[in-house]
DNA sequence: CAGGCCAGATAAAAGGATTTACTTGGGGGA
DNA sequence: TCCCCCAAGTAAATCCTTTTATCTGGCCTG
């Protein structure tokens, strides 16, 4: 049986109250000897407070609930690692739950985590939240009484804090880079799902084209699953067209596209420029290091936890909306469009 | 305020006992109407049991504590994802804690998780457990009263269940493959730290050499951090020698080695064969897909949770020691040693 | 010498469930 | 008529801490 506060009380001939007061450094009127006795006894018996009981009475568990689509995905793993570091730095822990990209699971996970008394919820959804579940989410967020922080997603009706990347600016930079290299016919590979993030990125791409007076052709846009397979498939269709560059929704899709490009006998960047998004660690390691848009996933994770903790302290008063700026990383998969052609 | 069992009792004019009995499907003598009334009222008020209170009294939280060195590492992320899937399948959740590769953090994390009432602990350590902390670990594992499952590490004195890869067989297969291709001078890149896993792998390599009567030269072994940087550095030294193949402790190191190899103007596999270990997703995506040893990380994760859950049910009686068999994946980074040379 | 005050504590309630042992009232059998 | 039993419940203890309100005995002061 685990040693409890009562064991220490019995051992020291003092009361549980005394033990609790001393071990929690609460103001108390115990004599110096009693204090020391309690402390040393606790140490000797290796007393560790039962956090379930503590949480029950204080209504604080020092635990953050994290709902994430897929921890095996490099991007989310990095995000989670930043969150864990920041949380632990402040003495918090993370209870996490994978949803396997299913939005239904996500709501269930939220409820479950909240029933475990987490002090705040962090929600990073990837797949679409449809109209029906949107209402359920909203209701839950409204009535759950703890701060919720949304990552990489905007949903004003939820009325919760958000931390995200400026996706539009990232895509804008990427496409502007291609345009400045002389590319005029650019293919776009985006995500299947009707989501916030890909939409924002497409808007950034369009804006870049508009500013340079280059037409944005919808026929040059293909979508697919955001995996290497999805990228490969989309590239196949797009390579039929007279394009000189390709912009992918993320690095994984770019890797897939690269495979297809090479299978067709084309070289990057000689025949085609290629840009990704995310800057996953592997992008720098490719034989042709990938030009991409860096998303500071680790920092986003840390900031998300900071926002959550500050809301916990605030008592959920103020909502924050934080946007990180991306950075274009020019490597070797892009170059000026060749003259002859 | 959250709705509690008392609220339902008041609303239905029944007792908390009745509510608890009905909602938990415990044998009870309540009338069909009363049951229905309780169920519908719970539904209507959106009652969710407070798991802190449940855990306090039942001494079961349906939560598994996971201590992991680095969730941003592809291998561990995959492991964790398998664990989460299996855990949720049985209604369990995972409380996780990163240690940033520091063994000191790991012990602290274990204690913290156990104070939160997890039902079992899963420990995946990467860095070395030295003699002093080994004793502390042992003491903790002995006295913490809950099952502990060790992943990818053997430590008989801990007397806990283990789930791991047959590292020796994996390395044996990899090196045998190189030997069968005619390679006689093979370089080995292993990990810096004096750990169980790299040691096992080196033993497998040695055995393969011994069986083929090929001398195993310690001068052809270099160690480094298990990152791309570490691999690149180690490769630099080894490429001075008349080697025709290189076996790396893991894929990340192989990626680093590949970079160095190419910088020296050598080609893979024409001039040098290269083998990794782990089969992380990127290995198949390289321009020269990497021959490597597949480690079923996802399956290992699932099995680990199964072991933990079975120990929980058993009351920690039996200890299991499960070993997964690796699989050599031959891709394009290895080929027969060329005649002329 | 009564009253107040202070040092040094503690009793008891609360937090939200589970679970064991007990209660109550009515009907049936001998 | 008496007793027993059964259906339908409930009271109260318990899990472990925190926290508020209270207690006790001695000393000082007027």
Give one DSSP letter per residue of B252-292, joined into a string: HHHHHHHHHHHHTT--TTTT-EEE-SB--GGGGTSSSPPBE
Reading the block at residue B234, the tokens are 């180690």
Q: Is the pLDDT at B14 greater than 90, yes or no?
A: yes
pLDDT at A237 over 90: yes
The burial of B53, by beta-carbon neighbours within 10 Å (0-12 exposed, 13-18 middle, 19 or more buried), is given as middle
Q: Which of A252, A244, A249 is nearest to A214 (CA)?
A: A244
pLDDT tens for each residue of B107-125: 989 999 999 999 999 999 8
CB contact under 8 A, A71 and B77: yes
Nearest residue on chain A to B257, alpha-carbon basis: A285
Chain A positions touching B111 (Cβ under 8 A) are 48
What mean pLDDT comes out for the span B231-255?
Answer: 96
How far away is chain A from the Cα of B243, in angstroms, using its nearest Cα?
A: 23
Asked whether residue B50's C-beta has any atom of DNA/RNA strand C within 7 A, the reply is yes
User: Is B72 in contact with A46 (Cβ distance < 8 A)?
Assistant: no
Question: What gap in Å lies between CA A326 and CA B129, rounded to an integer?
Answer: 40
Give residue B204's pLDDT band: very low, low, confident or very high (50, 70, 90): very high
The predicted-structure confidence for A122-170, as pLDDT tens digits, reads as follows 999 876 677 778 899 999 999 899 999 999 988 888 999 999 999 999 9
Which residue of A64, A68, A72, A235 to mutate against B (max B Cβ within 10 Å)?
A72
DSSP letter assigned to residue A289 = P
**Cis geometry, peptide bond prior to residue B140 (ω within 30 degrees of 0):** no
Considering chain B, what percentage of its residues have pLDDT values greater than 70?
Answer: 97
| The pLDDT value given to residue B226 | 85
Q: Is the CB of B60 under 7 A from strand C?
A: no
Quick one: average pLDDT of A238-253?
96
Binary contact (B116, A51; C-beta < 8 A):
yes
Which chain B residues have a beta carbon less than 8 Å from that of A231? none
Select from B293, B203, B307 the least CA-distant residue to B254: B293
Instruction: Tell me the CA distances in angstroms from A284 to A30, A281, A307, B254, B280, one per residue in order.
Output: 62, 6, 31, 14, 16
Is strand C in 7 Å reach of the CB of B53?
Answer: yes
C1' of C26 to CA of B96 (Å): 57
Percent of chain A with pLDDT over 90: 80
pLDDT at A339: 59
CB burial class (10 A; 0-12, 13-18, 19+) of residue A331? middle
Reported as a pLDDT band with limits 50, 70 and 90, residue B104 is confident
**Is any atom of nucleic acid chain C found less than 7 Å from the CB of residue A102?**
no
Average pLDDT over residues A269-277: 97
Query: What pLDDT, on a 0 to 100 scale, did the predictor assign at position B195?
Result: 76
Q: In angstroms, what separates the C-alpha of B265 from chain A's closest C-alpha?
A: 13
Provide the shortest C-alpha distance from residue A2 to chain B (in Å).
8
Q: How would DSSP label each residue in B162-182?
A: EEEE-HHHHHHHHHHHHHHTT
The whole-number average pLDDT for the span B204-209 is: 98
Is there a contact between A93 and B116 if contact means CB atoms under 8 Å apart? yes
Single out the residue of B334, B325, B335, B333 nearest to residue B172, CA to CA: B325
Confidence of residue A294 (pLDDT cuts 50, 70, 90): very high
Is the CB atom of residue A23 positioned under 7 angstroms from any atom of strand D? yes
Q: What is the pTM of this model?
A: 0.91
Share of chain B above pLDDT 90, in %: 80
- Judged by DSSP in three states, A122 sits in strand
What is residue B153's predicted lDDT score, i.e. its pLDDT?
87
Using C1' positions and the CA of A59, the closest nucleotide is C15
- Chain B closest-CA separation from residue A298 CA (Å): 9
Residue B21 Cβ under 7 A from any strand C atom: yes
Residues in chain A with CB shorter than 8 Å from the CB of B298 are 72
pLDDT for residue B129 is more than 80: no
Do β-strands A321-324 and A161-165 pair in parallel, antiparallel, or remain unpaired? parallel
Mutation target to probe the A interface, by most A beta carbons within 10 A, among B56, B65, B116 is B116
Task: Note the pLDDT tens digit of each residue in B222-242.
Answer: 999 888 999 999 999 999 999
Which of A28-32, B192-196, B284-288 has the highest mean predicted lDDT (pLDDT)?
Answer: A28-32
Asked whether strand C has any atom less than 7 Å from the CB of A336, the reply is no
Which bases of strand C sit closer than 7 A to a protein CB?
A: 7-12, 14-21
Burial tier of B1 (Cβ tally within 10 Å: 0-12, 13-18, 19+): exposed
B331: distance to nearest CA of chain A, Å?
15
pLDDT band at residue B332, thresholds of 50, 70 and 90? very high
pLDDT band at residue B339, thresholds of 50, 70 and 90? Answer: low
Task: Please determine, for residue A193, whether its predicted confidence score (pLDDT) is greater than 90.
Answer: no
Nucleotides of D under 7 A from a protein CB: 7-12, 14-21
**A49, A71, A143: residue with CB nearest B115:** A49
Quick one: which residue's CA is nearest to D9's C1'? B30
> B341: pLDDT confidence band, cut at 50, 70 and 90?
very low
Q: What is the mean pLDDT of residues B172-190?
A: 98
DSSP H helices, B5-50, are 5-12, 16-23, 32-44
Identify the helix (H) or strand (E) that includes residue A178. Answer: helix A167-180
Residue B210 burial class via C-beta count within 10 angstroms: exposed 0-12, middle 13-18, buried 19 and up: exposed
Q: Is B13 exposed, middle or buried (0-12, 13-18, 19+ CB in 10 A)?
A: exposed
HSE-CB at A96 with a 13 A cutoff on CA atoms is 31
pLDDT surpasses 70 at A116: yes
């Amino acid at each position: 049986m685990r040693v409890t506060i009562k064991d220490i009380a019995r051992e020291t001939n003092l009361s549980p109250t005394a033990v609790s007061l001393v071990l929690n450094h609460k103001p108390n009127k115990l004599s110096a000897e009693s204090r020391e006795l309690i402390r040393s006894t606790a140490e000797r018996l290796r007393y560790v407070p039962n956090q379930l009981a503590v949480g029950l009475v204080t209504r604080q568990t020092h635990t953050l609930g994290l709902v994430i689509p897929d921890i095996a995905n490099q991007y989310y793993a990095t995000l989670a690692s930043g969150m864990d570091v920041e949380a632990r730095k402040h003495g918090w822990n993370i209870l996490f739950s994978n949803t396997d990209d299913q939005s239904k699971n996500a709501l269930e996970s939220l409820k479950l985590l909240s029933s475990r008394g987490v002090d705040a919820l962090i929600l990073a959804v990837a797949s679409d939240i449809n109209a029906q579940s949107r209402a359920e989410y909203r209701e839950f967020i409204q009535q759950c009484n703890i701060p919720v922080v949304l990552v990489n997603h905007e949903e004003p009706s939820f009325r919760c804090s958000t931390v995200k990347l400026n996706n539009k600016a990232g895509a804008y930079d990427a496409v502007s880079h291609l345009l400045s290299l002389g590319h005029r016919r650019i293919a776009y590979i985006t995500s299947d799902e009707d989501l916030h993030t890909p939409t924002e990125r497409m808007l950034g791409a369009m804006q870049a084209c508009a500013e340079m007076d280059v037409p944005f052709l919808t026929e040059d846009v293909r979508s697919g699953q955001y995996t290497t397979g999805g990228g490969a498939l989309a590239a196949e269709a797009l390579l039929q067209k007279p394009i000189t560059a390709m912009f992918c929704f993320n690095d994984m899709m770019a890797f897939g596209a690269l495979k297809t490009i090479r299978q067709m006998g084309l070289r990057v960047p000689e025949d085609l420029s290629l840009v990704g998004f995310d800057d996953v660690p592997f992008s720098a390691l490719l034989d042709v290091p990938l030009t991409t848009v860096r998303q500071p996933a680790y920092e986003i994770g840390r900031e998300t936890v900071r926002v959550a903790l500050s809301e916990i302290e605030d008592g959920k008063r103020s909502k924050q909306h934080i946007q990180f700026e991306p950075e274009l990383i020019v490597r070797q998969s892009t170059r000026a469009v060749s003259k002859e052609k």
